[in-house]
């Protein structure tokens, strides 16, 4: 009995000594936390985390290359244990869930029925798919079979439905989808992603500067899921209350329903859900990422700055906004009149943004009270400059210094600051943009008897929002088109009239608009006691001349110079966006710039480099331009309630109201929920016309 | 020539998985994707060959001279476990990528009955050192061949309409049975 015991013990000792020596010889210095995390992980080695084995996953987690919830098998309990072990906040792990890009729409024509195939991959391998649409979901349910967690089911109309509560983000469905229309989405991804040409983008999404997933939020409204609709909007636009009131809807111009009847009232729907939140008395929970320990200063509290602050905060950065005005909002507060955007609405919206944990310091001017050196000394890792375009261009003519002559921006800013400002009985506004219209309509509300807008081009060339022009006409603002100001006439130091000259339209100028040409001998006088000049604006970059301020490059258009692809200036830690980068543009453009800057700043702070966006969608995707949408019945769009003309004048009460729930439901049903190829019958007709009637051959090519 | 027959017999006719039915756990558990099955196959080939050398040596130079054959199983378990640990330590130092990619498979092989089975069969068949080496390598290769082929079949099964009740392990076991029958066709090629 002794011998076998001795032999086994001997072999054991030899093995132990051998392993001991091996452990010393082949010693690998390893972070002990890796083993700690490895011990917590369930050791299934399934590969669902995207790493080669659990030890590789543990290494990635410890190095910060993966989230604490990277293990898809362990789910929440393991994630929390890992987070606790590594000293991270338990909520610090950000879940990723699978989402399909194809919304379905009214499905493109089915070309073949595949007897024997019930798998998308097989269908793609054999015929490259069986719908005319090359982007969309084939609906054969490969993703359903791939999901080990029962999170996907086939819904109506052959589209998969995803249950976010069951999805663990393993990515099996995304790997197995042959069309690549399923992706793993986290809150961070939603913020950092920018549209690409390779995506199946509905025309409205292509035209929206903020890139809001319009079809998605409208479908949520259709189903009565207002919270989901609003969260979808806030993925790309933190100010739906304001934008829902002031946006000229470039998206609606591209709406495919315009082929049939009228565009979907997209902005009314946005305003409806935004107002639904405000009127509900409670705020939706907006997820904020785990703290990164990085600090960002945002200079300018307008829509661009607020948008950047909102998304930077959601990405986990510590943000402070600095603004020269007493209250945040920028041009939304000081440029847009109360009757279009009530201040209490704007206040509620800004409060929601600041509630995420953003600090704001107002009443301090960049370049006077503080500068970039000051911000760097305070420990800010990056600076975002969004100071807008507050400098008004002035007409070069006699009489601009007379009493009763205002600049449009200054006029509106004084009005909305509550400072003493008054107009006379007869007001003339020079210009054709939104500022001119706002100044004219505000003057009417300040008891002016007549208000005349003088514009040197025709009505078609006016850059103001068409809806605003119509509203001004309804309120009896007079228009003098094709008229250019020549001289301001005054008496006793006060303005008494404006001398104008008739114009005619000549050849188009570089902007594409026809150039006005003066008509000799057509001068005339308009009698007035107030003149408001609103002929253009540009950024006020005086702060650049402040002593000790690092220099930023300025373009010939007097805007801050920066990379279009990153918004990074020649100082690597300084970014810019909005009107001070592009010149005057829409509010929604500034909102978009804020998110884009947040993306760049995040990458700059976290990775030290800003990855370029591949196939970034800038222009319209040609395949989405259709000539017909067969089978869609005509249905007129809803109209929002407006205050009667009598009740408008003499008061700054909000003119336009919000549509009710019934109208919102009706309008949401008008949305075709389209992608690039839905309804593409034209393409098919074109192929037939070219004699390629053999569909099979076409598909095989 | 005999060595070639031995190898063919080990790989095809007496396939460790499909004829001896050893190593069933990884066969079912790690055969859902071809990539992972290839990793498992490589690990088994490496460990089985190395373990066979050591267990064969231990048997003929320690156990047999002292009439201790009855503790063969215990001894082999000890040797294989120590060896796998050694391989793990070595690979972690020399090939971190391979170590990471094998992940949990390597420790799992410690208790893999295919490896143990090959080691025991070497003794049962009374192989010499070279025969043992060829048999071990070929048997492990047979394991690898079966698991990779099986993973291919299982990937294809995903494309097929399988009744719900038969999906997953159920259809896998039925398929394994059919594969065993197919491997019976190799009988007669070699003994």
DSSP string, A70-105: --TTTHHHHHHHHHHHTT--GGGS---EEEES----
d(CA A630, CA A681): 8
Task: Report CA dihedral (B33, B34, B40, B45) to the nearest 10 degrees.
Answer: 160
pLDDT band at A47 (very low <50, low <70, confident <90, very high): low
CB A120 within 8 A of CB A102: no
Weakest mean pLDDT among A12-21, A79-88, A561-570: A79-88
Q: Which tops the pLDDT comparison, A422 or A690?
A: A422
Q: Complex ipTM, two decimals?
A: 0.78
Rounded CA separation A371/A549 (Å): 6
| pLDDT reading at A264 higher than 60 | yes
**Phi, psi torsion values for A462, nearest 5 degrees:** -65, 130
- The span from the first CA to the last CA of chain A, in angstroms, equals 78
The verdict on B181 touching A (C-beta cutoff 8 Å) is no
Give the pLDDT band of residue A666 (cuts 50, 70, 90).
Answer: very high
How confident is the model over A294-308, as a mean pLDDT?
A: 96
Comparison of pLDDT for A203 and B168, the residue scoring more:
A203
Percentage of residues in chain A having pLDDT higher than 90: 50
The whole-number pLDDT of residue A544 equals: 81
**Contacts of residue A54 in chain B, CB cutoff 8 Å?**
103-104
Q: Do the Cβ atoms of A240 and A271 come closer than 8 Å?
A: yes
Query: What is the average per-residue pLDDT within A454-482?
Result: 91
B101–A45 C-beta distance less than 8 A: no
Select from B75, B100, B159 the Cβ nearest to the Cβ of A55. Answer: B100
A595 backbone dihedrals φ, ψ, rounded to 5°? -70, -40
Specify which residues A347 forms β-bridges with.
Answer: none
Does residue A455 surpass a pLDDT of 50? Answer: yes
In a 3-state reduction of DSSP, which class is residue A299?
strand
The 3-class secondary structure across A419-451, one letter per residue, is: CCCCCCCEEEEECCCHHHHHHHHHHHHCCCCEE
What percent of chain A stands above pLDDT 70?
A: 91
**Backbone torsions φ then ψ of A389, nearest 5 degrees:** -130, 90
What is the per-residue pLDDT for A696?
33
A689, pLDDT greater than 60:
no
Nearest to B161 among A28, A45, A118 (CB): A118
A45 or A209: which leads in pLDDT? A209
More confident residue, A1 or B165: B165
Burial A260-299 (b: 16+ CB within 10 A, else e): beebbbbbbbbbbbbbbbbeeeeeeebeebbebebbbbbb
Which residues pair with residue A360 across a beta bridge? A321
Q: How would residue A301 be classed by pLDDT, with cut points 50, 70 and 90?
A: very high
Nearest to A61 by CA among B106, A44, A46, A39: A39
Which of these, A308, A309, A303, A302, lies nearest to A354 by C-alpha position? A309
Q: Are A572 and A604 in contact (CB under 8 A)?
A: yes
CB contact under 8 A, B101 and A56: yes
Assess whether pLDDT exceeds 50 at residue A275: yes
For residue A534, how far is the Cα from the chain centroid?
A: 28
* Chain A positions in Cβ-Cβ contact with residue B68 (cut-off 8 Å): 3-4, 7
Q: What's the Cα-to-Cα distance from A63 to each of A33, A60, A583, A658, rounded to whole Å?
A: 10, 5, 43, 50
DSSP string, A655-666: SB----HHHHHH
Q: Is A167 helix (H, G, I), strand (E, B) or coil?
A: coil
Give the range among A97-111, A498-512, B114-128 with minimum mean pLDDT: A97-111
**Cα of B6 to nearest chain A Cα, Å:** 31
Give CA separation, A121 vs A71, A289, A485, B152, B171, in Å: 27, 36, 68, 15, 21
- Is the pLDDT at A700 greater than 50? The verdict is no
Task: Choose among B171, B124, B138: nearest CA to B16.
Answer: B138
Of B66, B94, B161, nearest to A7 by CB-CB distance is: B66
Q: Is A549 helix (H, G, I), strand (E, B) or coil?
A: coil
pLDDT at A279 over 90: yes
A166-221: pLDDT as tens digits: 887 778 888 888 888 898 888 888 899 999 998 889 999 999 999 999 999 999 99
Mean pLDDT of A377-383: 95
Report the chain B residue with the minimal C-alpha distance to residue A121.
B159
CB spacing of A54 vs B103 below 8 angstroms: yes
Whether the Cβ atoms of residue A208 and residue A214 lie closer than 8 Å to each other: yes
Distance between CA atoms of B2 and A625, rounded to whole angstroms?
73
Report CA-CA distances (Å) from B139 to A286, A539, A692, B84, B132: 59, 78, 57, 18, 10
Residue B57 touches chain A, beta carbons under 8 Å: no
pLDDT at A107: 57
Tokens 């027959």 correspond to what residue? B5
Q: Which pLDDT score, from 0 to 100, does residue A389 have?
A: 93
Interface of B with A in 110-149 (CB under 8 A): none
For residue A396, pLDDT over 90 is answered with no
Say what the pLDDT of residue A198 is: 85
pLDDT band at A429 (very low <50, low <70, confident <90, very high): very high
* Helix, strand, coil distribution of chain B in percent, nearest 5: 75, 0, 25
Q: Which residues contact A629 (CB under 8 A, 6 or more apart)?
A: A256, A257, A259, A260, A672, A679
Lowest-confidence region among A124-128, A352-356, A415-419, A618-622: A124-128
- Indicate if the pLDDT at residue A115 is higher than 60: no
**How sure is the predictor about A692, in pLDDT bands with cuts at 50, 70 and 90?**
very low
* Alpha-carbon distance values, B189 to A525, B21, B147, B186 (Å): 112, 20, 21, 6
What's the confidence (pLDDT) of residue A329? 96
Distance (Å, whole) CA A440 – CA A411: 11
Q: Minimal Cα–Cα distance from A1 to chain B, Å?
A: 10
Is residue B190's pLDDT more than 70? no
pLDDT of residue A351: 97
CB A6 within 8 A of CB A35: no
Question: Can you name the residues that pair with A663 across neighbouring β-strands?
Answer: none
| pLDDT exceeds 80 at position A235 | yes
Instruction: Check pLDDT > 70 for residue A45.
Output: no
Q: Choosing among A15, A17, A35, which should be mutated to test the B contact, i.e. which has the most B CBs within 10 A?
A: A15
Contacts of A47 in chain B (CB under 8 A): 33, 36
Q: State pLDDT tens for residues A238-258.
A: 999 999 999 999 999 999 999
pLDDT, chain A, mean: 87
**Mean pLDDT in residue range A347-358:** 96
Q: What number is the average pLDDT over the span B94-103?
A: 71
Both tokens of residue A121? 């991959």
CB of B94 within 8 Å of a chain A CB? The answer is: yes
Of A264, A265, A267, whose CA–CA distance to A210 is shortest? A267
In this predicted structure, the answer to whether residue B103 has a pLDDT above a threshold of 90 is: no
pLDDT at A341 (0 to 100): 95
């Amino acid at each position: 009995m002794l011998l076998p015991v001795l032999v086994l013990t001997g072999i054991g000792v030899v093995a132990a000594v051998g392993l001991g020596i091996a452990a010393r010889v082949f010693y690998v210095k390893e972070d002990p936390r890796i083993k700690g995390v490895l011990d917590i992980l369930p050791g299934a080695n399934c590969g669902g985390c995207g790493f080669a084995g659990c030890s590789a996953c543990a290494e990635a987690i410890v190095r910060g290359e993966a989230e604490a919830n990277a293990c898809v098998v362990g789910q929440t309990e393991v994630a929390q244990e890992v987070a606790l072990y590594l000293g991270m906040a338990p909520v610090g792990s950000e879940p990723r869930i699978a989402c399909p890009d194809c919304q379905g729409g009214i499905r493109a024509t089915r070309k073949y029925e595949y007897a024997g195939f019930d798998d998308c991959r097989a269908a793609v391998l054999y015929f490259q798919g069986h719908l005319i649409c090359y982007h969309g979901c084939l609906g054969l349910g490969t993703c359903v079979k791939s999901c080990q967690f029962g999170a996907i089911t086939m819904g109506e109309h052959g589209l998969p439905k995803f249950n976010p509560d069951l999805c663990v983000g393993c990515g099996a469905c995304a790997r197995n989808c042959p069309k690549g229309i399923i992706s793993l989405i986290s809150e961070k991804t939603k913020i950092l992603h920018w549209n690409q040409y390779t995506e199946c983008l509905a025309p409205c999404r292509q035209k929206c500067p903020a890139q809001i997933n319009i079809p998605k939020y409208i479908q949520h409204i259709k189903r009565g899921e207002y919270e989901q609709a609003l969260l979808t909007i806030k993925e790309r636009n933190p100010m739906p209350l304001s934008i829902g009131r002031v946006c000229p809807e470039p998206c609606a111009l591209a709406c495919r329903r315009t082929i049939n009847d009228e565009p979907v009232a997209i902005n009314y729907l946005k305003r409806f859900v935004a107002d639904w939140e405000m009127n509900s008395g409670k705020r939706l929970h907006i997820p904020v990422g785990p703290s990164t320990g990085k600090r960002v200063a945002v200079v300018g509290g307008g829509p661009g700055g607020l948008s950047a602050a909102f998304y930077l905060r959601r990405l986990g950065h510590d943000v402070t906004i600095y603004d020269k005005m007493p209250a945040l909002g920028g041009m939304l507060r000081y440029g847009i009149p109360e009757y279009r955007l009530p201040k209490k609405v704007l206040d509620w919206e800004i409060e929601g943004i600041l509630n995420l944990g953003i600090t704001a310091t107002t009443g301090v001017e960049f370049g006077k009270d503080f500068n970039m050196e000051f911000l760097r000394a305070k420990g800010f890792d990056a600076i975002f400059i969004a100071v807008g375009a507050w400098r008004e261009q002035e007409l070069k003519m006699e009489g601009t210094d007379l009493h009763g002559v205002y600049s449009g921006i200054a006029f509106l800013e004084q009005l909305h600051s509550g400072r003493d400002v008054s107009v006379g009985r007869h007001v003339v506004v020079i210009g054709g943009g939104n500022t001119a219209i706002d100044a004219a309509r505000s003057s009417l509300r300040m008891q002016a008897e007549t208000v005349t807008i003088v514009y040197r081009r025709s009505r078609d060339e006016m850059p103001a929002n068409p809806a605003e022009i119509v509203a001004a006409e309804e309120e009896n603002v007079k228009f003098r088109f094709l008229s250019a100001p020549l001289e301001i006439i005054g008496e006793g130091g006060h303005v008494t009239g404006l001398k104008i000259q008739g114009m005619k339209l000549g050849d188009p100028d570089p902007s594409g608009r026809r150039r006005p040409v003066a008509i000799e001998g057509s001068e005339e006088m308009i009698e007035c006691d107030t003149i408001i000049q609103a002929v253009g604006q540009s950024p006020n970059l005086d702060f650049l001349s402040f002593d000790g301020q690092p220099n930023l490059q300025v373009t010939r258009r007097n805007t801050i110079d920066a990379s279009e692809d990153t918004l990074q200036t020649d100082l690597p830690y300084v970014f810019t966006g909005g009107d001070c980068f592009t010149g005057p543009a829409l509010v929604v453009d500034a909102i978009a710039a804020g998110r884009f800057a947040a993306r760049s700043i995040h990458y700059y702070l976290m990775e030290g480099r800003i990855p370029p966006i591949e196939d970034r969608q800038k222009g319209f995707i040609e395949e989405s331009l259709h000539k017909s949408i067969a089978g869609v019945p005509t249905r007129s769009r809803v109209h929002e309630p407006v205050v009667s003309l009598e009740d408008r004048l003499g008061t700054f009460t909000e003119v336009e109201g919000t549509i009710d729930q019934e109208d919102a439901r009706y309008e949401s049903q008008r949305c075709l929920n389209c992608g690039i190829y839905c309804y593409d019958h034209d393409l098919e007709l074109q192929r037939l016309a070219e004699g390629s009637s053999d569909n099979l051959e076409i598909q095989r090519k | 020539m005999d060595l070639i027959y031995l190898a063919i017999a080990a790989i095809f006719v007496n396939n460790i998985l499909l004829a001896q039915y050893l190593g069933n756990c990884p066969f079912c558990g790690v055969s859902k994707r071809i990539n992972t099955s290839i990793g498992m196959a490589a690990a088994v080939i490496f460990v089985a060959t190395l373990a066979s050398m050591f267990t064969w040596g231990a048997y003929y130079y320690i156990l047999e001279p002292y009439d201790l054959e009855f503790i063969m199983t215990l001894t082999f378990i000890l040797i294989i476990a120590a060896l796998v640990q050694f391989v793990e330590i070595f690979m972690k130092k020399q090939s971190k990528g391979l170590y990471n990619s094998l992940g949990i498979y390597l420790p799992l092989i410690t208790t893999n009955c295919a490896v143990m089975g090959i080691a025991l069969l070497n003794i049962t068949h009374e192989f010499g050192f070279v025969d043992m080496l060829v048999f071990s390598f070929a048997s492990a290769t047979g394991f690898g061949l079966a698991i990779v082929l099986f993973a291919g079949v299982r990937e294809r099964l995903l494309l097929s309409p399988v009744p719900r009740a038969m999906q997953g392990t159920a259809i896998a076991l039925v398929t394994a049975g059919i594969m065993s029958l197919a491997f019976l066709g190799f009988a007669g090629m070699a003994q």
